[in-house]
Copies of this chain bind each other. A is one copy, B any other.
Amino acid sequence: MKASKNEDFDEWYNEVVEEADLCDKRYPVKGMNIWRPYGWDIEQNIDFIIRDEMKSTEHKEVYFPLLVPESLFQKEADHIKGFGSEVFWVTHAGDRELEERLLLRPTSETSLYSIFSLWVRSHADLPLKTFQIVNTFRYETKMTKAFIRVREIHFFEAHTCHIDFEEAEKQVMEDAEIASRFFNKLSLPYLISRRPDWDKFAGAYYSLGIDVLMPSRKVLQVASIHQYRDNFSRPFEIKYEDEDGRHKYCHQTTYGMSERVLGAIVGIHGDDKGISLPSYIAPIQVVIVPILFKGKEAVVEKECTNVKHELEGIGIRVHLDMRDKTPGNKFYDWELKGVPLRIEIGPRDVNNGVITLVARDGIKREIARDNLEEVEKEMTLFDRRIFGRAEKFLEGNIHASHTLEKSDGIIEVPWCGSEECGLRMEEETEMKSLGTPFPEKTCDEKCVICGGEAKHWLRLARSY
């Protein structure tokens, strides 16, 4: 690693994603990177957590086709307005021009909902809770950035249908709880904000954005939850017959996330030695580095192998590094790749019946060789420490503001709720509004723009 995270975060980020073997940016299409095995492993572990959450909340996994006919896409007017300028179009197959153009899904509302109208018939079919993990495509015109702004997106999207608005509201709350458990496992503190109307998802009734604060003090949206009400069910005719035989439109929600989650982990937990992975998603949770001295190799290697097998036995993903390199070089490699815990075993340790644990953040501890369940505890402690640091950083960078001074980090400003005043705040601070805190935080002040009654705090920040 050449760049320094504190001195030039963007440069450091761009370097570390390749140095740590997460991706390769040399693919000859802009904004489309290659997932290297290590990066893909991590992403699959992230997918595993959300699949697990989906399963325990009775969502069913589906897979819908990538290509969407133009006519389907145009059914919901706001949606096409929001996405139309950034879709990729398939116009030909072989030498033939297609009768109807097909687009690569930028998100899957329009393909799913045309079929939901066939799947939902009666109230007994509801709630319909589905999700898929797919590749989506957006022709981003801004500068691309690995995991953060890409043109082929590794995308998780949950889509649900409910009998009415209140049931859909309950789903929004469940999604918020899922997000809480999910981001907790990744040691990522976040804020949920109800986006202002001028920045909600194309077609949504309202949108909740889940944002993290990157070391650049810019926020990164890592997830979103949308309440659609019946905005899509009407054009797509997703109707059900209720218990009294009346036909009604469903109310719908979505919950979406992407590989940005990995971008957040890289950015927030990393340091000048490399990335730093929460133990839940680390492909290697523990690396064992033998400290070899001439004549003592056999005894140390044997001990290392035994410890490896015992750790595997208690379900830990462990790697024994027997490469012909110095311990120092090995430390360097595994710190770069963010392995949460290193175990060092030398001949003296074997004699004394101890092993040394070194967490990725440098915290060192000696434990008894026969007390390996301590390793799991140590991983949990590590996860909590990196969470704690990120939380302190986030909290230290949120400020109430009555003066609209430009600022790094996030400011919360008393706001009357009008679009006009909100946009003026964005203009004067050169920041983007994230929306109002969710759940709502009481405010009893004056709008800093119009001086009128301010019932809301509007959050503003620079953002990716």
Tell me the A residues contacting B by CB distance below 8 Å: 24, 26-29, 32-37, 40-41, 44, 60-67, 69, 72, 84-95, 102, 104, 111, 114-115, 118-119, 130, 135, 137, 139, 152, 154
* Residues A139 and B93 in contact in the complex (CB < 8 Å), given A69-B29, A114-B28: yes
Q: List 25 A-B contacts (CB under 8 A).
A: A24-B118, A26-B118, A28-B72, A29-B67, A32-B67, A34-B62, A34-B63, A34-B64, A35-B63, A36-B62, A37-B61, A37-B130, A66-B135, A66-B137, A66-B152, A85-B94, A86-B93, A87-B93, A88-B92, A89-B90, A89-B91, A90-B91, A90-B104, A94-B139, A135-B135
Known: A28-B114, A40-B62, A135-B135. 19 other contacts (CB 8 A): A24-B115, A26-B118, A27-B114, A27-B115, A28-B69, A32-B65, A32-B66, A34-B64, A34-B115, A35-B63, A37-B62, A37-B130, A40-B61, A66-B135, A66-B137, A67-B88, A67-B152, A86-B94, A89-B93
Report yes or no: B93 in contact with A90, Cβ–Cβ below 8 A.
no
Across-interface contacts of A111 in B (CB, < 8 A): 27
The smallest beta-carbon distance between A58 and chain B, in angstroms, is 11
* C-alpha gap A169/B119 in the complex (Å): 50
**Chain B residue at minimum C-beta to C-beta distance from A94:** B85
Report yes or no: A64 in contact with B27, Cβ–Cβ below 8 A.
yes
Report yes or no: B102 in contact with A65, Cβ–Cβ below 8 A.
no
* C-alpha gap A102/B88 in the complex (Å): 10
Across-interface contacts of A91 in B (CB, < 8 A): 89-92
* C-alpha gap A152/B104 in the complex (Å): 12
* C-alpha gap A102/B92 in the complex (Å): 11
**So how many copies of this chain end up in the complex?**
2
Report yes or no: A95 in contact with B85, Cβ–Cβ below 8 A.
yes
* Residues A60 and B32 in contact in the complex (CB < 8 Å), given A27-B115, A135-B66, A152-B65: no
Across-interface contacts of A84 in B (CB, < 8 A): 94
Across-interface contacts of A137 in B (CB, < 8 A): 66
Q: With a 10 A CB-CB cut-off, give which of A40, A41, A84, A90 has the most chain B CB atoms.
A: A90
* C-alpha gap A61/B88 in the complex (Å): 27
* C-alpha gap A176/B27 in the complex (Å): 31
The smallest beta-carbon distance between A115 and chain B, in angstroms, is 6
Across-interface contacts of A92 in B (CB, < 8 A): 88-89, 91
* C-alpha gap A88/B84 in the complex (Å): 20
* Residues A29 and B102 in contact in the complex (CB < 8 Å), given A37-B130, A63-B35: yes
Across-interface contacts of A130 in B (CB, < 8 A): 37
**Chain B residue at minimum C-beta to C-beta distance from A32:** B65
**Chain B residue at minimum C-beta to C-beta distance from A98:** B88
Report yes or no: A65 in contact with B104, Cβ–Cβ below 8 A.
no
Report yes or no: B65 in contact with A29, Cβ–Cβ below 8 A.
yes
Across-interface contacts of A34 in B (CB, < 8 A): 62-65, 115
Across-interface contacts of A69 in B (CB, < 8 A): 28-29
**Chain B residue at minimum C-beta to C-beta distance from A33:** B65
**Chain B residue at minimum C-beta to C-beta distance from A37:** B60
* C-alpha gap A34/B95 in the complex (Å): 27
* C-alpha gap A119/B36 in the complex (Å): 11
Across-interface contacts of A65 in B (CB, < 8 A): 27, 29, 32-34, 152
Across-interface contacts of A85 in B (CB, < 8 A): 94-95
* C-alpha gap A85/B28 in the complex (Å): 23
